[in-house]
Copies of this chain bind each other. A is one copy, B any other.
């Protein structure tokens, strides 16, 4: 490994001088300047980010904790974080939490021990207190979760409204026998979306909590299994609202297998608007969560945190900017018996 010392020696100057031309922190006279540049080129010198991080106490790295990199939701999140970080000359380091408390904590701690300048965290298994303990005083932005005490560093969304919007759309289209497919884990996202679902149903005089429901793993496979089960138990259903798009994709697969003609025979709606939704058939109607944009915003917030203490999401980060929004595509059709 060629070090700054090698360059200095070759150029016949001190290491301070080399450092100065590398970083442009001070002027160095013409002849020496060139000599250094030449030596750097000849040796193919590459400053050690490690040494820099040690002395500067900053690493130009943003840490990211996600559940599973192969899940399109997190792929988009990673994309957003990486892109925005890159725009500021920062690199991203991603770790998986796998939805297990000890792994999530280890992931965060390790990112901190690497002296990431800031971290973007998506966790589910950790309790609020555990999460707070793990992040300590590291500049962190929590995605998709509202942690009491540090709300100003959280980006969360109105999951209740999200569920409400989706259900309302189904109701508007005349559906009354709607099933709910949720995820296994008892997390607030799931509860809130279901609660919004119930609220919409109540508004038209249906008891949502009594609606047919089934839960499964938050994967396409989970959605598939749940849908099969639900269809078996409730042949009268005309529509399903799923926890998210990935599960909804699983539902569609189940429906195709059972030879439903889609979307005429049955409607499905999801949440998230992941890439996948545009390539299932019928294209998925969903409620949009601007995931990539959320990743970008998280990084911007960290940059703010780094620049000046006062935390401030600023005008452009208004939660209002992230209102869930219905995206109408093809997977929801009017139900023939529409009465209104």
Contacts and interface: CB of A to CB of B under 8 A. Distances in A.
Contacts of A61: 93, 114
Contacts of A282: 256
A109 B54 contact: no
Contacts of A95: 82, 91-92
B70 A91 contact: no
A252 interface: yes
The size class of the interface chain A forms with chain B is 35 or more
Nearest to A86: B96
B220 A279 contact: yes
Contacts of A250: 279
A83 B70 CA distance: 11
Nearest to A248: B279
Nearest to A106: B86
B49 A110 contact: yes
Contacts of A83: 96
Nearest to A71: B75
Contacts of A292: 70
Contacts of A69: 69, 75, 78-79, 82
Contact of A78 (B47, B57, B70, B136): B70
A48 to B, nearest CB: 6
A253 interface: yes
Contacts of A213: none
A83 B78 CA distance: 17
A79 B78 CA distance: 12
A57 B51 CA distance: 10
B94 A92 contact: yes
A194 to B, nearest CB: 23
Interface in A274-293: 275-276, 278-283, 292
A72 B249 CA distance: 15
Contact of A46 (B113, B278, B281): B113
A280 B281 contact: yes
A220 B253 contact: no
Contact of A115 (B49, B94, B220): B49
B115 A48 contact: yes
Contact of A53 (B50, B110, B252, B278): B50
Given A70-B292, A250-B279, A281-B252, A78 B94 contact: yes
A72 B57 CA distance: 35
A136 B280 contact: no
A244 interface: no
Given A59-B50, A94-B82, A281 B281 contact: yes
Contact of A283 (B79, B92, B114, B253): B253
A182 to B, nearest CB: 19
Contacts of A86: 96
Nearest to A46: B113
Contacts of A220: 275, 278-279
17 contacts: A49-B113, A51-B54, A61-B93, A69-B69, A69-B78, A70-B79, A70-B275, A72-B75, A79-B96, A83-B96, A86-B96, A91-B110, A92-B94, A92-B95, A256-B281, A279-B279, A280-B281
